[in-house]
Amino acid sequence: MKKIFIVIVVCLSFFSTVSGQEKIERLMINPTVPVAGEVLSLAYNPAGGPLEKREQVYAIAYLYNMYRWEAADVNLTREGDIWKGEFEVPENCGFIAFAFQTTMSVQPEVVDNNDNCGFMYVVRNSSGQVMPGGNLAWGIFRMPSLGKGVPGYFKQGYQDISDEAIMMWLDKEIKAYTENARYFFDVMKAGLEKMHGKNSTPGIAFLLGNLEKEPNLREEDYMMIMNTLRFDLQQKEKADSLEKVILNKFPQGGLARRVAIDKLVRMSGEDFLKAADTFRKKFPFEVWVEKLDMPGSLYNNFYRKLIGEYYRNKQYDKVAEIIPELNMYILSEVFHRTVEFSVRKSPEPTAAYVNLSREMIELMLEKVNDNSYAYTYAHLYTPRQSEELARLYLNYYIAVHAEIAAKSGLFKEAVDVMNLLDEEVRYKSYPAGNEAYVVSLEKLGKRKEIGEALKGIARANKMTSVVYEKLRTYYQTLTKKERKQPFEVWASSLKSEEEVTMIKDELRTKIVDIPFENFEVELHNGGKLSSVDFGNSIVVLDFWALWCAPCIAALEGMQMAVNCHLDDPGVKFYFVITQDEPRKVAIDNLWKKNAYKNMEVVYDYASASGKERNVVYKIFFQGTSGIPQKVILKNGKIRYRAEGYGGSPSALMDEINYVIEILKEEDK
């Protein structure tokens, strides 16, 4: 294979293949050259970097381990200003890059990647020879655009190494480890395509010819050959012929599994259910977990469809039979699309599926650390990151189950399941679950716990309107000394002052001062409303539609915001039906069902040449059609706009109230 990679080196600036670009000042390693199979000591000094003075620092190692990228956790302990740790380099590892960050979440607030130069090391064996994959990884890691490195390691402003440089490192790998070329065939192909674009076909054909001559081809080798024939060389007939060979040679392999799933997802009804049972026996899910020989999304789609069919038919026993097979990731997906969907959107009594919900939660508790988010997601996560992401979902689903249990009259179960969560995170996931918890505590007569729960929910700012009113009732039970502040001020004081300041500061960055075209809308109960009549009032417009579930979900929080300004004639709220027909009866029924008050509905209208009612909407929002949308006006200007709904009624109330507060401060 290496004949095609004859590289002419022209004035290239070479970097050390051990220490990387010279700007490694904050990280010291011992030994200075990582050795495969041996322990590497790290000493990280955040001084001068983005993590300076941070209370906590975490480390991640990105490894190129026998031509596959992996991510691993590195445990650090603090010694003075230095964070120290040890990491055992895998025996087949060719390259390591470290990143340091403030949390182990998949989207950390701050990351230190050595100012976009990388903390990068090529690994050698005990004889000093570069390990397999070392040269290759050194090149592809520093060229993110090739799509073969670690996505997201480098940040905005990073510049790829040159095409010539990547080919040089690829050439080094080929010369050192020609016998391993099958393992990085896809990288060689990507390099050719990057260098030569549409003219890369002859080179790809040459590479393919060499791969086809390799002895003892694995299924993944045959798959690479087939896909190259089909998609790169456009040789469909030959690819189809090879597909039959692969299916015959590996009857229970990854391709056979994929083909079977492709057929299954096109089936329906009893035919699908029978075929699905046969598939589960022939291609057990745990075998795929061991091999990972096809995209996990295919199994995800299969199980979602299978369990969805049984669930819709109320065959909960069949669902219960299947779910033990699943990993945490797919269990999470299935829970979301079955019992969570039911409790939020279906009239089906919760007692019908509470047992199934409980079984799913128990299984997720068992499997939360199975690392399935690391190998099912497209991103590169460490085991600890995978578990942290899984626990975020689990915490949310526990609160959903609390709601299901409470609605089924199982108040002790609702309390017990919420108490599985540490108080620090218990109330942060799902406002309706928080409400179920408080209601269940009341039913069980646990008065002391109710007050603590209400304050904890307020601190997390995940209150429904019911919880907010229960908090108000609790406030009335406090002593006069404790009630020296008005309720709203006291309730706000329960939240972290630092967090409130941060939210307000962020909202201030979104305050604008943009004129808008005057408009007129039709009032729900008859008559017209003109923006000319707003005067100096602060006016909140909520654009929504009856078909929009997030819009309707957000109305609860908007009602809470409206209630805060009932006695303020300088603040007005209007709820604008847009991109929808003004169905008066349906709107009245919705308002009656949810006991909405003082929430005046108005209608957007259609232009003379159009059918869709969105003329007023387009005055404020160009280049989008998304709803819900909020806009806040003052003195004939747009002052604030926001799209979407975050899921917390009390947080939405605060957002509206804080913006109104900021706008009022301007007049002082």
Give tens-digit pLDDT for 188-199: 999 999 889 989
Pairing of strands 637-643, 629-634: antiparallel
Q: Return the percentage of the chain with pLDDT > 90, whole number.
A: 87
Return the pLDDT at 547.
96
pLDDT of residue 632: 98
Residues 649-658, mean pLDDT to the nearest whole number: 97
CA dist 561 and 649 (Å) reads 9
Closest residue by Cα to residue 307 from 295, 323, 296: 323
Reduced to 3 states, what is the DSSP secondary structure of residue 388? helix
Q: Are strands 600-603 and 571-577 parallel, antiparallel or unpaired?
A: parallel
Return the pLDDT at 19. 38
Residue 10 has what pLDDT? 28
- pLDDT, tens digit (0-9, with 9 covering 90-100), for 71-130: 999 999 999 999 999 999 999 999 999 999 999 888 888 999 999 999 999 999 999 999
- Examine the pLDDT at 572 and tell me if it is beyond 50: yes
125-126-128-132 Cα dihedral, nearest 10 degrees: -10
pLDDT value, residue 49 = 96
- H-run or E-run covering 633: strand 629-634
Helices (H), 163-235: 163-176, 185-196, 201-212, 219-227
Q: Is 493 helix (H, G, I), strand (E, B) or coil?
A: helix
Average pLDDT along the chain: 93
Cβ 344 vs Cβ 556: under 8 Å: no
This prediction has a pTM of: 0.90
pLDDT category, 258, cuts 50, 70, 90? Answer: very high
How far apart are the C-alpha atoms of 453 and 441, rounded to whole Å? 9
Q: What is the pLDDT of residue 24?
A: 57
pLDDT for residue 640 is more than 90: yes
**134 burial via Cβ count (<10 Å: 0-12, 13-18, 19+):** buried
pLDDT tens-digit profile of 375-401? Answer: 887 789 999 999 999 999 999 999 999
Residues in the chain: 668
Question: Is 5 a residue whose pLDDT tops 60?
Answer: no
Residue 207 amino acid letter? L
Contact criterion met (CB below 8 Å) for 634 and 516: no
Q: How far is CA 1 from the centre of its chain?
A: 40
Q: What number is the average pLDDT over the span 316-321?
A: 97
pLDDT above 60 for 18: no
What average pLDDT does this structure show over 351-379?
94
Q: How far is it, in rounded angstroms, from Cα 206 to Cα 228?
A: 12
- Rounded percentage of the chain residues whose pLDDT exceeds 70: 96
* pLDDT band at residue 265 using 50, 70 and 90 as cut-offs: confident
Q: How many other C-beta atoms lie within 10 A of the C-beta of residue 582?
A: 17
pLDDT, greater one: 607 or 526? 526
Over residues 470-499, mean pLDDT:
92
Q: How confident is the model at residue 17 (pLDDT cuts 50, 70, 90)?
A: very low
- Which of 628, 512, 635 has the alpha carbon at shortest distance from 580? 628
Q: Is the pLDDT of residue 591 over 90?
A: yes
The predicted model gives 559-587 an average pLDDT of 95
Structure tokens, 98: 């470290």
Which pLDDT tens digit goes with each residue over 405-433? 999 999 999 999 999 999 999 999 999 99
Instruction: Identify the pLDDT of residue 369.
Output: 96
Note the CATH number of domain 509-665.
Answer: 3.40.30.10
Q: What is the mean pLDDT of residues 341-362?
A: 96
> 273 phi and psi, to 5 degrees?
-65, -40
Q: What is the Cα–Cα distance from 262 to 272, expressed in whole angstroms?
A: 12
- How confident is the model at residue 235, as a pLDDT? 97
Lookup: tokens for 9: 């080196």
Nearest to 114 by CA among 212, 243, 26: 26
pLDDT > 90? residue 487? yes
State the pLDDT at residue 2.
39
The answer to whether the Cα torsion of 268, 271, 274, 278 is positive or negative is negative
Q: What value does the mean pLDDT take over residues 318-347?
A: 96
Write the CB contacts of 318 (distance below 8 Å, at least 6 apart in sequence). Answer: 310
For the chain, the first-to-last Cα distance in angstroms comes to: 75
Each residue of 447-459: pLDDT tens digit? 989 999 999 999 9
Burial class (CB in 10 A: 0-12, 13-18, 19+), 21: middle
Q: Tell me, what's the pLDDT at 116? A: 96
Query: At 23, is the pLDDT very low, low, confident or very high (cuts 50, 70, 90)?
Result: low
Give the pLDDT band of residue 629 (cuts 50, 70, 90): very high
Report pLDDT digits (tens) over 127-162. 999 999 999 999 999 999 999 999 999 999 999 999
As a whole number of Å, the CA-based R_g of the chain is 30
DSSP state, residue 190: H
Query: How far is residue 183's CA from residue 66's CA, in Å, rounded to a whole number?
Result: 8
How sure is the predictor about 20, in pLDDT bands with cuts at 50, 70 and 90?
A: very low
Among the listed residues 298, 365, 293, 378, the one whose alpha carbon sits nearest the alpha carbon of residue 331: 365
Residue type, 261: I
